[in-house]
A and B are shown apart, each in its own frame.
Chain A
Amino acid sequence: MSNPTYTVIFYLFAAITVFSAAFVVFTRNVIYSAFSLLFTFFGVAALYVFLSADFIAVTQVVVYVGGILVLLLFGVMFTNGIMQTGQKSEVFHIIPGTVLLVGIIGALLYTFYTSHGWMPSETTLQGSIVERIGFETMSRYVLPFEMVSILLLAALIGAAFLARFDKSEK
C-alpha cells in the first residue's frame, strides 16, 4: 500500500466521502441531499475495498445504494410539494446539542489517540473471503442469521398487509 497511486486514490475517496456527507447535511434541497448520499455510500464502499473487505464493499453498494437510496429517492419524488417545505425545525436545543457534539467528538478522539495501535488478527486470511463468510454464516453465526431472516420475513408480511387493497373500505 506504499504505492503513491494507492495513496492518491485513497485520499480521493476519503475526500469524496467527507465532502459529500457534508453536502448531504448542509444543502437546502432535499433531492440534492439524496443524490449526494450516493457519493457518500460509494466513498465508504471504496474505503472498505482499501481494507480488503471486497464483499462488504459490494454489499454496501447493493444494500445502501440499491435499496435504501432508491427508497429514499422514491419517497422524495412521490411527496407532494417537497421542494416548498421548509427543512428547518422550529425546535432548537443549542446548548444540549453542542454538549452532545463536543462529547461525541471528544470520546472518538480519545479512543483514537489511546488505542491507535492496530491489532492484526492472529490467523491470516486464506483463500477467498466469500467462502470464509459463507462458512461462518452457516456455522458460528447461524442463529443470528436465522433471527435476522425471521425479522425480515415478518417485516415483509407486515408491509404486504399494510399495503393490501382493503375491500371493506370501498
Chain B
Amino acid sequence: MTSTALSQFSIPFLMGSSLNVWSEALAGFNLFGLPLGLVILAAIPLVFIALYSLTYGVYGERKISAFMQDRLGPMEVGKWGILQTIADILKLLQKEDVVPTSADKFLFVVGPGILFVGSFLAYAVLPFSPAFIGASLNVGLFYAIGIVALEVVGILAAGWGSNNKWSLYGAVRSVAQIVSYEIPAAIALLCGAMMAGTLDMQKIIAIQSGSLGFAHFFLFQNPIAWLPFLIYFIASLAEVNRAPFDIPEAESELVAGYFTEYSGMKFAVIFLAEYGSMFMVSAIISIVFLGGWNSPLPNIGPIALNDLTNGPVWGAFWIIMKGFFFIFVQMWLRWTLPRLRVDQLMYLCWKVLTPFAFVSFVLTAIWEVYVP
C-alpha cells in the first residue's frame, strides 16, 4: 500500500502540470485501511499556520513594529532575539490555566477552540500550489466568505463565557464589525468571481495565468478592478480585527476586548486563530486579484522568466510570498494609522464601502459584458 502511494508520488512530484496532483495523491493514501492521507492533507495547513505565526507572525511583527518606531525590538534571547518566540511559547506553556470562578466554564473553554476552527476551516479551499488544495470545491470562494461565520460564534462564546464587561463589549463590537464588513467584502470578491466566471479557487487562478505574468492578473485586466481590490483589502482588515479597525481589542478602552480573561495556552490559541485569519484574507485577496500561485514575472523575448518560475513548488512560493506581502502591509498600517471610533467604523462600512462596492460591481459587470 505504501509503496504504490509513493510511486504515485514520485512521478508528478516536481514536474506535474495538471492541477491538484499532490493533494489527490495524498487523498488516495491509505494505511491499514485508514484514510491517513486525508489527515495529512488537513495537517499541512495547520503546520503552516503554526510555523508562520511563530516566525513571521510574532517575531516578524515585533521586529517590523520596532524598526518602524526606530527601536531595536527583541534583542536579548539569541542573536537579534530570534529565540524570543520560543521563550514566549515556553512561558505560555508553563502558565497556569486560569478559569475565572464566575465564568461560564464550558463556553470559556470552548470559545477559543471554535474561534480557531473557524479560521482554520477556510484553509480547506486555499490552493497552496497548483498541485495542492485541501478541497477543490466548485463553491470555494463562497465557502471561504461564509465560513467566517463560525469565527463570529467563537468570539461571542469567548466574550460571553468570560463573564466580564470588557470581554462582552469587545465581543459585541467585534461581531458587529465582522458582520457589517462581510457585505462590502463579499461584493468586492463577487467582482473577481464575475471576471473569472467561476467560484472554484483553482479555476480562478488558472484563468489568470499566461506568458505576460502580472499583466494577466485580474487587478490589471480591468480598469475598475483596483476599486474592489481596495474595498476588499480595507474590509478584510476589519474582518480580522487589525488596526485601524482594532476597536474590539482597543487596549486603551477595553483592556484586551474579548480575550481579556484568557491566559496561557488558550490565549495562544486565540492568537493562532488571529494569525490564521490574517493569512487567510491575504491569500484570498492575492488569489482573486493577484493571480494566486501564478508567477508575476513576464516572458521577455527569449528569456522565458514566466515559464521558469511557474510550477507546483514555485506556485507555493508565490502564493505564500503574496500572502506575506499583504500581512506586511497589515502590520505596516497597524503601526501607522490611529484607531477608528465605533461610529466612524460603521459610517465607513455602510456609507462609503458598500455603495462603492455596488458601483464597482455594476461597472465590472458592464465591462465584462460589453468589452470583449
Task: Give A contacts to B, CB under 8 Å.
Answer: 5, 31-32, 35, 38, 42, 54-55, 58-59, 61-62, 65-66, 69-70, 73-74, 77, 128-130
What CA separation (Å) do A38 and B114 show in the bound complex?
Answer: 10
B35 touches A5 (CB 8 A): yes
Contacts of B143 in A (CB 8 A): 54, 58
**Contact of A70 with B138 at beta-carbon distance under 8 Å, contacts A38-B153, A62-B145 already known:** no
What CA separation (Å) do A42 and B107 show in the bound complex?
Answer: 18
Contacts of B145 in A (CB 8 A): 62
What CA separation (Å) do A31 and B168 show in the bound complex?
Answer: 14
A-B interface contact total, Cβ < 8 Å: 69
Contacts of A31 in B (CB 8 A): 104, 107, 160
Contacts of B160 in A (CB 8 A): 31, 73, 77
Which chain B residue shows the least CB distance to A127?
B138
A77 touches B172 (CB 8 A): yes
B284 touches A (CB below 8 Å) = no
Contacts of B35 in A (CB 8 A): 5
A-B contact pairs, 25 of them (CB 8 A): A5-B35, A31-B107, A38-B114, A54-B137, A54-B138, A54-B139, A59-B146, A61-B146, A61-B149, A61-B150, A62-B142, A62-B146, A65-B150, A66-B148, A66-B149, A66-B152, A66-B179, A69-B153, A70-B149, A70-B153, A70-B156, A74-B175, A77-B168, A128-B138, A128-B200
The 8 Å CB contact of B107, one of A35, A128, A129, is: A35
Contacts of B137 in A (CB 8 A): 54
What CA separation (Å) do A163 and B214 show in the bound complex?
Answer: 47
A129 CB to closest chain B CB (Å) equals 6
In the A-B complex, the 10 residue pairs with the smallest Cβ-Cβ separation, listed nearest first, are A66-B149, A62-B146, A65-B149, A128-B138, A58-B143, A61-B146, A54-B139, A73-B156, A58-B139, A58-B142
**Contact of A35 with B153 at beta-carbon distance under 8 Å, contacts A58-B146, A61-B147, A130-B199 already known:** yes
B205 touches A (CB below 8 Å) = no
Task: Give B contacts to A, CB under 8 Å.
Answer: 35, 38, 104, 106-107, 110, 114, 137-139, 142-143, 145-150, 152-153, 156-157, 160, 168, 172, 175, 179, 182, 198-200
What CA separation (Å) do A5 and B30 show in the bound complex?
Answer: 11
Contacts of B38 in A (CB 8 A): 5
A35 CB to closest chain B CB (Å) equals 6
What CA separation (Å) do A5 and B160 show in the bound complex?
Answer: 37
A55 touches B157 (CB 8 A): no
Contacts of B150 in A (CB 8 A): 38, 42, 61, 65
B102 CB to closest chain A CB (Å) equals 12
What CA separation (Å) do A31 and B103 show in the bound complex?
Answer: 13
Most chain A CB inside 10 Å of its own CB: which residue of B38, B110, B160: B160
What CA separation (Å) do A136 and B199 show in the bound complex?
Answer: 17
What CA separation (Å) do A66 and B178 show in the bound complex?
Answer: 10
B315 CB to closest chain A CB (Å) equals 23
Contacts of B107 in A (CB 8 A): 31, 35
Which chain B residue shows the least CB distance to A31?
B160
What CA separation (Å) do A32 and B175 show in the bound complex?
Answer: 18
